[in-house]
Amino acid sequence: MTCLLMTSCSVRKESLKMSEPPVAERRAHVATYHGMELKDPYHWLKDQSYPQIDDEDVLEYLKAENAYFEEFAGLIEDRVEDIYNELKGRLEKEDASVPYRDGDYVYQSRYVEDSQYRQHIRWLSPSDSTSPAAQFDIPEAGTEVILDQNELAEGLEYFRLGTFSVSPDYRLLAYSSDTNGSERFTLVVKDLTTGELLSDRIENTGGGVVWASDSKSFLYVMVDEHWRPNRVRHHVLGTDPANDPIVYEESDPGFFVGISRTTSREFAVIGTDDHETSEVYVLPLDDLTVAPQLIVERQDKHHYSVDHGGGDFYILTNDTHKNFRLARTPSDSLEPESWSSVIEGSDSRYITNFQSLATRLIVSYREEGLDQIAILENDAQLQPIEFDEAVYSVGFGSSSAGPNPSQIRIYYSSLVTPSTTFDYDLATGERFTRKIQQIPSGYDASLYTSERRMARSHDGVLVPVSIVYRKDTPLDGTAPLYLRAYGAYGSSSSPSFSTTTKSWLDRGFVYAIAHIRGGSEMGYHWYEDGKLDKRMNTFLDFISAAHYLIEEKFTAPKRIAITGGSAGGTLMGVVVNEAPELWGAVVSHVPFVDVLNTMLDDSLPLTPIEWPEWGNPITDSDAYEYILSYSPYDQLEAKDYPPMLVTAGLNDPRVTYWEPAKYVAKLRHLKTDDNLLFLKTEMGAGHGGRSGRYEYLRVLAETFAFVLHAMDIKED
C-alpha cells in the first residue's frame, strides 16, 4: 500500500500562493411569494435570454472562475498527470462489448486503437452453428462498420450518441446525436447498403425510435421549446418531417413522453409519466396509422409499465401494493378488471423490472436491499439465480434480441469483483462466461474486502452502507474515507465495481456508499420516506452514516471526502450546511442547490415534472417554507466551510449552469474560512460533463487531485 503522510487540517489557498478568487457583484433582487420576501443578490447570473446565453457579465464571471481553477490545476499539474496516467492504465486501449444477436446479424461496439468513442460493427450470424458461443465469434471477413462515433465527433468539443436503431429489414440505421450537451438531438437515417445518409433529418428529438414492421416508417419523440419531450410523431421515409402526423401529444407540462417496443415486437409502447403517475398506450407495429390504444387512464400515484409476450400483455403496477405486483391480461381485454396477478405485491420484495418472453418471464427485484434476478415459468414459483457474494450489483438483458431467446444475458459485479458478463441458459441453468473485465495495469481482488453495515439514523431507521477497503488499511480511525450517495427519484446506488475506486483504496482510503432514503434500495417506501416533506430524512441519513463510520473507527472527522451529483449535489449542499465539521473535502457535480428558485420557475424544462418529487412552492405555502428550510443556496450563512470543488455545464438543461454559479458566488461572500473553493464550468458541455472516455478520465484526475490536496494527503 502507498505510504501516506496525513494531517487532519485542510489546505488553505495561501499555501499555493494563488491569486485572489473572483468576486461576483451583488445586485438587489427581491420577489414575494405567499407574503414572504425571497432575496437573491445573484439572480443576475441567470442569463435573462436563456436558453440563449450571451450576457457578457455572466460569461466573464464564469470565465474568471474557470481561470481561477485552471491556476490551481496548473500548480498541481504533476499530480493530475500522474493520476490521469494511472486511471488510463486501467482501461484497455482496444475494448469491445459482448456481441449480441438480432435476427440475421450479430452486433458489437468497440474502441479501436485507443479511440475516444465507440465504433459499431456487425456481421452475418452463422446459420449452421449449434454452439451458443459460436454465433458470437468475430469472422475473419465479412465484418462491416455501420457507425463510427469517432468520425462523427471529429472536430467537435462534445459528442453524444442518442438513439441507435436498425430497421427490421436490417437495411437502415436511425441514429441521433447531441453536439453541445443540451440534449436536443438531431435524428438521421443511414442506408447501410450504401453508407449514405437519406434526406430524412429531424431536429429537436429526444428518446428513441421505434420502427414499423415494414421498415418504411418509424415513431420518434419531439421536445418542445422548454426541452420537454411531449410529442410522438410518425415519420414515413422520404417525406417532409414538418408534415409528420402527431400520434400522441402530452398537454400536461409535468409529464414527459417516451416510446419503446415490446419484447414480442408486435407493439409500440407510448408512455407518459411524472415520476409517480403514468399512462401507457400501445399500437401495432404493422400499422402505425391506427389510433393508440390506452391501457388504463392515469390516476394519481398509479405507476405502471407494460410488455407483451406469448400473446398476452403483462403489467408491472403499484395499484394494490406500493412494491408493485406483476399482472397479465389478454391482448383483446386490456381493462384492469381483466388483470390477473402473476406475482403478488410483497412487503419484502420490491419488483423493479421485468421482461415477458414467449414462454417465460424474467423478473428483477430487491430483497433486503440486494439485487435479485429470477425466472418465472408456467406461473410456478420464482426461480432466483444465485450469487456467492454478500454485496453485489446485477442486471439482465438479452443475448439475442427477439421474443423467445434461449439465453438471457447477466451483468454482474461487486465492489471487489470486476464486471462479468455471462449468458444464462433458460432451459438448463448453465452459465456461459462471455467477458470478464480486464485491467491492463493489474488487479488482485484478494487484496480487498467489502462488507455491508447498517447505520442507525436520527429516527432509529437502519440505513445500509456498502464499504470496501484494502485488507491492510488500518481500521483505527486514522484512515481517510471517501463517501458518496444520491438519494432521490427512487434511484438506487449500486455497489458495483469501478476501476477508479482502486485509486482511492490504494492510497489508504476506505470507500463507502450510503444507501439513504430517497433511493429505493429497501423498497418503494424507502423512496417515499425521502421525498417531499420527508426530504430531510435523506440528508440526516447521510450524516448519520458518516457518524457511524467514525464511531466504528473506519475514519475520523475531517478525514471524510464526500461527493454527489445533480440531486446528489443537493445532498452535498445540505450536509455541508448542517455538519461542516465532518468533511475534509467536498465535490459537487452539477449540483441542484438552488432548489427553491428553480421550483418556483415553471418555465424551466424540468420544474413541473419535479413537483411530485420536491413539492410545488408556487401553489403550496407549506412546500415553499419546507423547501426554503433546507435549500442549500438559501441556507448558506457566515461560518467556516470545508474545501469544495463545484462543477457546472453551460448547456445543461437539467441543472442549469446558474445554480452552481450562484451557489459558489454566495458561498465566497459568506464563508469565514480560507479553504479552497472552486467553480469549474464546462463551456461546451451539459449535465454529463465532457464526452470521450479519456477526456472524462482527465476531469476525474483533477477531482482526485483536488481531494488529495485539500485533505493534505501526501504520497511517496
Catalytic amino acids? 566, 652, 687
Backbone φ, ψ for residue 519 (5° rounding):
-85, -170
Task: Name residue, grid cell 494531517.
Answer: 7
The helix (H) or strand (E) run that includes residue 542 is helix 535-551
C-alpha cell at 387: 450469487
Q: What is the 3-state secondary structure (H, E, C) of 633-644?
A: CCCCCCCCCCCE
User: Which of 190, 158, 155 is CA-nearest to residue 176?
Assistant: 190
CA distance 521 to 368: 8
How far is the C-alpha of 414 from the C-alpha of 90, rounded, in Å?
A: 17
- The torsion region of residue 180 among left (phi > 0), alpha (psi -120 to 50) and beta comes to alpha
- Find all residues with CB under 8 Å of 115, minimum gap 6, and list them: 150
d(CA 309, CA 64): 57
Q: Can you tell me whether residue 119 is helix, strand or coil?
A: strand
Alpha-helix runs per DSSP H in 45-148: 56-75, 77-88
Residue 94 vs residues 164, 367, 514, 526, 597: alpha-carbon distances, Å: 22, 38, 34, 41, 46
The Cα 377–Cα 239 span in angstroms is 45
Angle between helices 56-75 and 658-670 (to 10 degrees): 70
Instruction: Based on DSSP, count helices (H) and strands (E) in the chain, helices before strands.
Output: 12, 40
Within 578-669, strands assigned E span: 583-589, 644-649
- In sequence order, what are the residues at sequence separation of 6 or more whose Cβ sits closer than 8 angstroms to the Cβ of residue 617? 33, 596, 599, 600, 623, 624, 627, 628
Q: Cβ(569)–Cβ(655) under 8 Å? A: yes
Closest C-alpha to 182, from 662, 646, 681, 654? 654
Residue 157: CA count within 13 A, CB half-sphere: 11
The CA distance from 226 to 255, in Å, is 13
| Residue 426 backbone phi and psi in degrees, to 5 | -70, -25
Contact 192, 145 (CB under 8 A): no
Query: What are the E-state strand segments in 458-592?
Result: 462-470, 481-484, 510-514, 560-565, 583-589
Site of grid cell 436490417: 170
Euclidean distance between the first and the last CA atom of the chain, given in angstroms as a whole number: 11
Helix (H) or strand (E) holding 621: helix 621-630
CA distances from 267 to 216, 326, 461 (A): 16, 19, 44
